[in-house]
Amino acid sequence: MTRHVVVIGGGPAGTAAAESALRHGASVTLIDSNEALGGQYNRRIPALFGVRRPLSIGHGYRAAADRATRLAAHPRCEYLPWAAVYQIERHLEGGCPAVRLLIGIEGEQRTHRVVQADALVIATGAYDRVCPFPGWDLPGVYTAGAAQTLAKTQRLLVGRSVLLSGTGPFLLPVAQSLATSGADVLAVLEANPARRILRQWTTRPWELRHSLGKAGELIDYLGSGVRHRIPLRTATAVIAVAGDGRAEEATIARLDENWTPIPGSYTTMPVDAVAVSHGFTPQHELAVAAGARLTRDGFVQVDESQRTTAEAVWAAGEITGIGGAQVSAIEGRIAGMSAAGADPDEDRALRARHRTAEQFVTRLTAAHPIRPGVLTWSQPDTVICRCESTTRGDLTTAWSHPAGGYRPAKLATRAGLGPCQGRICAAAIAALREHACPAAEHESQDDPCRSRDQTVSHSECPDGSPAHPTPGLAAATPAWRPLAAPIRLRELADLDTEGQP
């Protein structure tokens, strides 16, 4: 019998998984929340803009377009754009585990579908993480991903003079996207020191022999920075933004190894906008809903075949570890192959690239960690939970109360109860609470601000020695929720007991 594989996510991991599953005889339903396949890495101007030859900012557009065309035309592939999975149920069908999904498809009138699958591949990616600092909630302060998306898809600039700050190589392609679209990128500020970054990539470089394409991309991004005269500074960060109703001035500081600002190093710079990214948070709500277990760092736990701990569920891409498009595509190929019932070990070349990809993820994590000094950037009046306007002072007061356990503090401050349900603030709140109450135990497993390991996020250096632990800064673990995405109450009321409209 032909296995039916459902793939959620149309980025490099999801499209690679769908193509791999088709190649190994499965039928595929590919679900994506965007208009076109490609994910963040290959975003471009939407078709409704009517641009015949859209400017492509980045890499891999031709390959991504060819793959999207093949998938859309394949007789065994059903492609559902503008679709959101609301609910995942797992059950036994004929003695075999199966997955049931409730999907909402956008259009002139939103429709609903229930899809049954023999195997599920989740490739929902990740989104920017921002560590709070004074002024991070001002208009004009964006995540780096949002700034890049606006530049790529609509040629809209978040500002004429833009400052980029944070950590990780993602800052470089964002700078290229903004500069190519006409922005004056004032500087790219990397919070980690150059020696830490270089140490990870120069130790045993032969272990990364299958990742040479990454070196080519890096050279291109650095070359773009040189052409556009964009300064690149390490051990430096934006630690505050000020302005009358919007971002007008950024405070920049040199940082020590721990990310603590060095006294006397503060400078200010006039800006139109600031784009910030302190790494990424995996978008793993659907994986949690499917019953998959997470690692201590908040990523989906998988084995060598990308199989999760949940029966009949695989995961690939950034939800299993941040590594970029090439790593995601390799993981997607393995996940699709395994979900279709094939053995990934039969492809030795793919296995070799997978081992290199895992090494790349490990080194990237060790080169660009978030250090605990970031907790000194926020002040008592700094907003931490933007949905509910909860400040650090509000949280500190609630935690210092004799009855200031998790639930009382949650009810008193409403932190994590807003529309984002803790997706933006949870990791910051977990880190601040650990910093303020080192011995505190969270009373509830249903804590959206609870880190899976609560205290330490570890990574290992290539030489085998552990990297510096990052107290309290691991990604927060979400609680399971009956609905993984927003749904209108009227639509919910219209569904029958079988989930059908």
Domain ends where: 233, 258, 278?
A: 278
Domain ends where: 278, 301, 325?
A: 278
Q: Based on the domain organization, do 142 and 39 belong to the same domain?
A: no
Q: Based on the domain organization, do 11 and 148 belong to the same domain?
A: no
Q: Looking at the domain assignment, is residue 121 inside a domain?
A: yes
Q: Which residue spans within 214-310 are E strands per DSSP?
A: 232-234, 236-242, 249-254, 267-270, 273-278, 280-282
Q: What does the pLDDT look like over 179-219, one tens digit per residue?
A: 988 999 999 999 999 999 999 888 887 777 766 677 778 88
Q: Based on the domain organization, do 168 and 154 belong to the same domain?
A: yes
Q: Based on the domain organization, do 123 and 190 belong to the same domain?
A: no
> pTM for the full model?
0.86
Top-confidence range, 150-164, 235-249, 359-373, 401-415: 235-249
Q: Looking at the domain assignment, is residue 73 inside a domain?
A: yes
The rounded percent of the chain whose pLDDT value lies above 90 is 48
For residue 459, name the pLDDT band (cuts at 50, 70, 90).
Answer: very low
Nearest in space to 315 (alpha carbons), one of 27, 45, 120, 77 = 120
What's the pLDDT score for residue 107?
A: 66
The total number of structural domains in the chain stands at 3
Q: Looking at the domain assignment, is residue 39 inside a domain?
A: yes
Q: What does the pLDDT look like over 98-109, one tens digit per residue?
A: 667 777 777 666
Q: Based on the domain organization, do 259 and 289 belong to the same domain?
A: no
What's the pLDDT score for residue 390?
A: 94
Q: Looking at the domain assignment, is residue 369 inside a domain?
A: no
Q: What does the pLDDT look like over 80-122, one tens digit per residue?
A: 988 888 888 776 565 455 667 777 777 666 777 888 889 999 9
- CATH code at 75? 3.50.50.60
Q: What does the pLDDT look like over 2-53, one tens digit per residue?
A: 899 999 999 999 999 999 999 999 999 999 988 888 888 777 776 666 665 5
Residue 454 burial (CB count, 10 A): 17
Q: Looking at the domain assignment, is residue 421 inside a domain?
A: yes
CB-based contacts of 438: which residues, under 8 Å, 6+ apart?
none
For residue 497, name the pLDDT band (cuts at 50, 70, 90).
Answer: low
pLDDT higher than threshold 60 for residue 54: no
For residue 250, name the pLDDT band (cuts at 50, 70, 90).
Answer: very high
Q: What does the pLDDT look like over 272-288, one tens digit per residue?
A: 999 999 999 999 889 98
Three-state secondary structure call for residue 47: helix
pLDDT higher than threshold 90 for residue 265: yes
Comparison of pLDDT for 177 and 457, the residue scoring more? 177
pLDDT higher than threshold 70 for residue 263: yes
Q: Based on the domain organization, do 97 and 167 belong to the same domain?
A: no
Q: Based on the domain organization, do 98 and 142 belong to the same domain?
A: no
CB 279, CB 262: distance < 8 Å: no
Angstrom distance (rounded) from CA 318 to CA 418:
25
Q: Is 439 exposed, middle or buried (0-12, 13-18, 19+ CB in 10 A)?
A: exposed
User: What is the bridge-based pairing of β-strands 161-167 and 184-190?
Assistant: parallel
Q: Looking at the domain assignment, is residue 304 inside a domain?
A: yes
pLDDT higher than threshold 80 for residue 481: no
**Average of per-residue pLDDT across 386-396:** 93
Q: Based on the domain organization, do 39 and 120 belong to the same domain?
A: yes
Q: Based on the domain organization, do 296 and 315 belong to the same domain?
A: yes
Provide the residue range defining the domain that includes 121: 4-127+281-346
Q: What does the pLDDT look like over 408-449, one tens digit per residue?
A: 777 888 988 888 888 888 888 888 888 877 655 444 334 433
Q: Looking at the domain assignment, is residue 371 inside a domain?
A: no
What's the pLDDT score for residue 376?
A: 94
The rounded percent of the chain whose pLDDT value lies above 70 is 83
Q: Based on the domain organization, do 159 and 184 belong to the same domain?
A: yes
Domain ends where: 245, 278, 311?
A: 278
CB 437, CB 425: distance < 8 Å: no
Q: Looking at the domain assignment, is residue 355 inside a domain?
A: no
Q: Based on the domain organization, do 95 and 145 belong to the same domain?
A: no
Angstrom distance (rounded) from CA 378 to CA 259:
13
Sign of CA dihedral 139, 140, 143, 147: positive
The region of weakest confidence among 298-312, 364-378, 419-433, 436-450 is: 436-450
Q: Based on the domain organization, do 182 and 302 belong to the same domain?
A: no
